[in-house]
Amino acid sequence: MLGDLETYSLSHFMPMTPEVYFRLFERLNSQLWPWQLLVFALFLAGAEALRRGRSVMAGVLVALCWLWVALAFQFSLHGELSPAGAWLGWAFVLQALLLLVAGWRGQLVGQRGPRARVGLALLVFALFLYPLLGPLTVRTWAGLEVPGTAPDPTLMATLALLVMTPRLPWLLVPVPVLALVFSAATWWTLGWEPGLVVGLLAILFLLCPLIGRLRQTPFYRRP
């Protein structure tokens, strides 16, 4: 089998057409409506909790979103089409647990400084700009990727929150970064080039520790 490796390309591992994958998001929104608004609000509340230094609350709220994506998208919709759905589903569950632990350990608190501003910019991109890329290109508004229910904006927004923390909780990094790389490969294979931006964001995130050398001031100081 190893001798055949050169005969494989990414497309050989993509068991569905672009139409089918795009439809997953339309079906996700259709099935969840209007609960995705609540989940989106949960994520925003999680971000606000992190900014205010309420680490446990931030961990719980963001972890709920990850569990939601795992159950509503990865295990059910994506899992129908590809084994990758189940693998990613378990990865999302693992990340939810890690978020709970990080929150409990007080690692999910915001800060001030240049890295925090980068994090905020990434967060705005993930929550409000990236979801528009689909409908503004070849996809439909019905298939809008809503943060908190669709994987990619949730992954990117979570990384953005991590950038805002004074000391990066590295245990929370592998799942979202690897999932974003997988997602970028998926979009590329399906021929939706704007989706490559999720891979670029993962790379940008990995460069963020360089910014960490700049001066940081916690938003919230422990008594």
Partner 1 sequence: MATIRRRTLLRALAAGAAISALGPLGNAIAGEEQRLRKTIPGTDESVNVIGMGTWRTFNVGGDPQLRDQRTEVLRAFLEQGGEVVDSSPMYGSAQEVLGHAIEQLDAGDRVFAADKVWTSDGNATRQQASESASKWGLERFDLMQVHNLLEWEAHLETLQAMKAEGEVRYIGITTSHGRRHEEFERVMANHDIDFVQLTYNMADREAEERLLPLAREKDIAVLVNRPYHGGDLIKSLQSRGQPLPDWAPEVGCSNWAEFLLKFTVSHPAVTCAIPATTKVAHMRENMGASRGVLPDARQRQRMVDYLESL
* Closer of 77 and 121 to partner 1 (Cβ): 77
Please identify, among the stretches 17-25, 53-61, 133-141, 200-208, the one whose residues bind partner 1 according to the rule CB under 8 A: 17-25
Number of residues that bind partner 1 (CB under 8 A): 18
73 CB burial (10 A radius; 0-12, 13-18, 19+): buried
Please identify, among the stretches 21-29, 52-60, 175-183, 207-215, the one whose residues bind partner 1 according to the rule CB under 8 A: 21-29
94 CB burial (10 A radius; 0-12, 13-18, 19+): middle
Binder among 2, 7, 34, 170 for partner 1 (CB under 8 A): 7
Residue 185 binding partner 1, by CB under 8 A:
no
Which single residue is written with the structure tokens 């059910």? 76
* Closer of 27 and 52 to partner 1 (Cβ): 27
Q: Which of residues 75-114 bind partner 1 (CB under 8 A)?
A: 77, 80-82
Q: Whole-number minimum distance, CB 63 to partner 1, in Å?
A: 27
Measured CA distances, 196 to 30, 71, 90 (Å): 26, 25, 24
